[in-house]
Amino acid sequence: MVKTPRKFMNPFSKSISDTNRRFIVLMIPLLAFIILFSFLFDLPFQKVKNGFFSSDSSSSPSKDELLRSKIAVCLVGGARRFELTGPSIMDMILKEYPNSDLFLHSPLDSDAFKFSLLKSAPRIAAVNIFQPQPLPENETFVRVLSAQNSPNGIQGLIQYFDLVEGCVTMIKSHQIKNNIKYDWIIRTRVDGYWNGPLGPENFVPGQYLVPSGSSYGGLNDRFGIGDLTTSTIALSRLSLIPKLDSAGFSNLNSESAFKAQLTTQKVSYQTKRLPFCIISDRKYDFPPTRFGVPVAALSSRGPLSGTKCRPCKPVCVGVCVEYVMMWVEKGWSWTDWADGSLELCNAEESWEDGWEKVFDKVAGKKFGDARKKIHSMNFDDCIHDFIQLKNLTAQWNAPPIEEICALGLTHS
Ligand SMILES: *[C@@H]1O[C@H](CO)[C@@H](O)[C@H](O)[C@H]1NC(C)=O
Ligand SMILES: *[C@@H]1O[C@H](CO)[C@@H](O)[C@H](O)[C@H]1NC(C)=O
């Protein structure tokens, strides 16, 4: 099924032929350069990695071993479209590892009532829904971080870092209370839509695993798995900023701060393709420019490794995706599109009319039913479900249930 909208095809093929010759002339020294660099830097780096972590980092535990180990799943972010993402997180992560304990860390807003869906999660260790408040900014943060490309500037970055780090705080407190230690921490986002199960090959002893692509000048920080040691460093996003400052880093975005955090703390990492995308309501230019953001159709086969996505009828598939993605900067918003894994939306406007139908068709009846349930939920249903959820949760730290439900739903 190769559809190529003419409108986008012509300007691209013209510019390709124009730059064709220059491209090839540039490619030869560039390739030599890349090969040289990989020899210069990769080999010593590999040695450093193995020096620090003596364990055979390539061997992941089997599924059986993982099911016998202690796993914490840290779920962070606002509930925005949780009626679409929640059931997939439940199926592809929580029910894949039913021995895992869920930790939810989320700001209170008018969508928080959607977390009522979690009442069917296998195990819930802690829920922390908090009233968002501005966090203090000081010179250290201003020096190290960049407000560019962050929707809410430096404050937005600090809020996000605090949200992520708060999850480690919850996990550590739960460990102390119950005198346990987790073997693995899976860090994931509330707005992640999973179209395949999280496989055991993504648990790598002694290393931190992140998705490939969408690296924005650093490392893709939309998901991560590591043991307790590597995860503690990877998730301590706020408290490690002064360390980055001492190391002389400045002008960092979320992804480059994340990479600097791991490298300065000598945590080695691996990237793998992972079967999820980040459902977003944001609008982006189409086709994406070199530093633009491609928005995947939810129907893409994937793995999308955390690319932004929405339910849409794709406007660009097959050879069109090749033409669009070859101009997207590899170290920035680029994501792997090989083998037809990616289909693109035109995300210049709000979600299209009839997106619900598109979603239900892609996600199937079970996930579609959850969407409808939230869509038609009333205040009393919400209270009912939240009471169940609270009852299943070991550590409950949230505003009154009535307040959570009333923010998003009118009293009947
Ligand atoms: C800014 O705040 C962080 C964390 O609250 C702190 O570690 C750092 O020392 C502060 N920097 C300055 C210059 O006060
Ligand atoms: C809460 O859970 C206990 C068992 O853990 C159960 O007996 C009780 O009925 C539950 N209460 C509600 C309101 O669901």
Q: 172: buried, middle or exposed (CB in 10 Å: 19+, 13-18, 0-12)?
A: middle
Q: For atom 2 of ligand 2, which residue has the closest CA?
A: 391
Torsion sign (Cα): 88, 92, 98, 99: negative
* Ligand 2 center to 394 CA (angstroms): 13
Residue from 140, 158, 245 whose mutation best tests the ligand 1 pocket (most atoms within 8 A of CB): 140
Residues near 396 by Cβ (< 8 Å), separated by ≥ 6? Answer: 126, 127, 390
pLDDT score of 44: 39
- The residues with which 278 forms a beta bridge, in sequence order, are 192, 308
- The residues with which 309 forms a beta bridge, in sequence order, are 279, 296
Question: Which tokens hold the place of 215?
Answer: 């690296």
First-to-last CA distance in the chain?
48
Residue 139: how many other CB atoms lie within 10 Å:
8
Q: For atom 2 of ligand 1, which residue has the closest CA?
A: 138
Residue 227 DSSP SS3: coil
Contact call for residues 271 and 258 (beta carbons, < 8 A): no
Residue from 123, 391, 393 whose mutation best tests the ligand 2 pocket (most atoms within 8 A of CB): 391
What backbone phi and psi angles, to 5 degrees, belong to 348?
Answer: -70, -25
Q: For atom 14 of ligand 1, which residue has the closest CA?
A: 138
What backbone phi and psi angles, to 5 degrees, belong to 77?
Answer: 125, 170
Q: Return the beta strands (E) in 273-370 as ranges.
A: 276-279, 296-297, 308-310
pLDDT score of 59: 87
Sorted by where each starts, the structural domains of the chain and their CATH numbers stand as 63-273+377-411 (3.90.550.10), 280-368 (no CATH)
User: What does each of the 412 residues of the chain score in pLDDT, given as a tens digit?
Assistant: 444 444 444 434 444 444 455 544 455 455 454 444 444 444 334 434 433 444 444 689 999 999 999 999 999 999 999 999 999 999 999 999 999 999 999 999 999 999 999 999 999 999 999 999 999 999 999 999 998 877 789 999 999 999 999 999 999 999 999 999 999 999 999 999 999 999 999 999 999 999 999 999 999 999 999 999 999 999 999 999 999 999 999 999 999 999 999 999 999 999 999 999 999 999 999 999 999 999 999 999 999 999 999 999 999 999 999 999 999 999 999 999 888 899 999 999 999 999 999 999 999 999 999 999 999 999 999 999 999 999 999 999 999 999 999 999 986 5
Q: Which residue type does 286 have?
A: F
Tell me which ligand sits closest to the C-alpha of residue 392.
Answer: 2
pLDDT score of 212: 96
Tell me which ligand sits closest to the C-alpha of residue 389.
Answer: 2
Would you say the CB of residue 250 lies under 6 angstroms from ligand 2? no
Tell me which ligand sits closest to the C-alpha of residue 135.
Answer: 1
Q: Identify the helix (H) or strand (E) that includes residue 345.
A: none
Residue 283: how many other CB atoms lie within 10 Å:
15
* Ligand 1 center to 138 CA (angstroms): 6
Contact call for residues 118 and 86 (beta carbons, < 8 A): yes
Would you say the CB of residue 388 lies under 6 angstroms from ligand 2? yes
- The residues with which 106 forms a beta bridge, in sequence order, are 129
Indicate the DSSP class of residue 183. Answer: S
Cis (ω within 30 of 0) for the bond into 151?
no
* Ligand 1 center to 136 CA (angstroms): 9
Residue 158: which of 142, 174, 170, 169 has the closest Cα? 142
- Who lines ligand 1 at CB under 6 A? 138-140, 242
Contact call for residues 1 and 318 (beta carbons, < 8 A): yes
Would you say the CB of residue 394 lies under 6 angstroms from ligand 2? no
Atom of ligand 1 nearest to the CA of 238: 4
Q: 92: buried, middle or exposed (CB in 10 Å: 19+, 13-18, 0-12)?
A: buried
Tell me which ligand sits closest to the C-alpha of residue 119.
Answer: 2
Contact call for residues 333 and 304 (beta carbons, < 8 A): no
What backbone phi and psi angles, to 5 degrees, belong to 27?
Answer: -65, -40
